[in-house]
Structure 1
């Protein structure tokens, strides 16, 4: 695939756990699936904890900014912006550490960066063209988290509630919610807000056209 001289468009999508940010990201992706597009999840960049015991890993606060290898995320996002391929890390939720295998990721014209703390670091914010905060009530977020973690990750209800009360909720109010002030667009109701998603996709298409990317608008090269 040939690229022009313009850097890719980066859309940051953030919000609390269970806010619907992943749904919003995927809906934007699907709306633009005829474009050259990818989704890069911050969750892939949890720290490598291979040198820690399982007990130590279990006690890590995964909703704190220090839980992420932000330097690696910035390095690899910068490589994608230079149209260089990366080897994206894979996080193993069962082992609570980074896996030994990686995923080869080619650059794309549109990058959706999704995660709870992507607006916390100024270096990351400076790489984004559009910053989106998905704003959802705490009660809805905990219900969604319970459904996800019981069905997809096999966790117990007591464990989910304990983690939510001890780390997820306080970290949201300490670190995630304050980043709302950096957002260009605040999306209430998450993936149910089709008007906001339509406006976002229209804006992204407009940026691509302004950058002279109209020749790749119909390219079907896209990955999540």
Structure 2
């Protein structure tokens, strides 16, 4: 198999990455595109107590099994299928699924540190940066973590102030200027994201001679 065309997608927490990815993937057949997410490579922290988990910083490059993440990306380059248990953010109410990541001509690499990890950044052909104003991003983060991940309000705010914002400023924001496409997403109007993915997918189809 030829080397896939690799698109790196990163953004601040609450920037709308999940919706962006869903919209973008819908422009292609499953056999044409595949996704590998840094989130599924967190070093397990579910053995910690609730208080330890509150203090544990998941927003540092060292919280990810960086070697395994890079190895699996390279294995996809070599045409190998990856089997990986999804990460459920220590939510005991969610049973993790077994992910099957199948090689495809287009590979999406998604995660907070993909530009910071030099070995991963060097593999990317196109870089997309999603961003949102801090107040908008925080509101989205609160909704997601309270409803989907079972965190309490104080825990979310502690992590936002002490972990999320400092990590974004240190490990992601400095790379904004080197990306190919910056998308500012301060509205919940889906048309903003859908229009962006329409344009990017059209350009990509022409570049790769996709029918």
TM-score, structure 2 normalization: 0.86
1:179 matched to which residue of 2? 175
Which residue does the alignment assign to 1:150?
A: 146
The 5 A counterparts of 1:1-224 are 5-33=1-29, 36-49=32-45, 53-54=48-49, 56-94=52-90, 102-189=98-185, 192-209=192-209, 214=210, 217=211
Distance 1:57 1:102 in 2: 24
Alpha-carbon deviation of 1:53?
3.4
Residues 103-137 of structure 1 deviation map (CA, whole Å, 9 limit, x = unaligned) = 33221221211112211111111111110001211
Task: Name the CA distance, whole Å, in 1 between partners of 2:125 and 2:107.
Answer: 10
Residue 11 of structure 1, CA deviation:
1.0
Q: Which secondary structure state, in structure 1, belongs to the residue aligned with residue 22 of structure 2?
A: helix
Q: 1:106 to 1:165 in 2, by over 3 A?
A: same
The whole-number CA distance in structure 2 between the counterparts of 1:62 and 1:131 is 23
Contact 2:88/2:96 (<8 A) preserved: no
Distance 2:96 2:136 in 1: 35
Structure 2 distance, partners of 1:110, 1:45, is 21
Secondary structure of the corresponding residue to residue 11 of structure 1: strand
- Is contact 2:34-2:102 (8 Å) kept? no
TM-score (norm 1): 0.81
User: Tell me, which stretches of 5 or more residues in structure 1 are unaligned?
Assistant: 218-224
- For structure 2, the 5+ residue unaligned runs are none
SS at the partner of 1:146?
helix
DSSP 3-state at the match of 1:31: coil
Cα offset for 1:181? 2.5
Q: CA RMSD in A?
A: 2.3
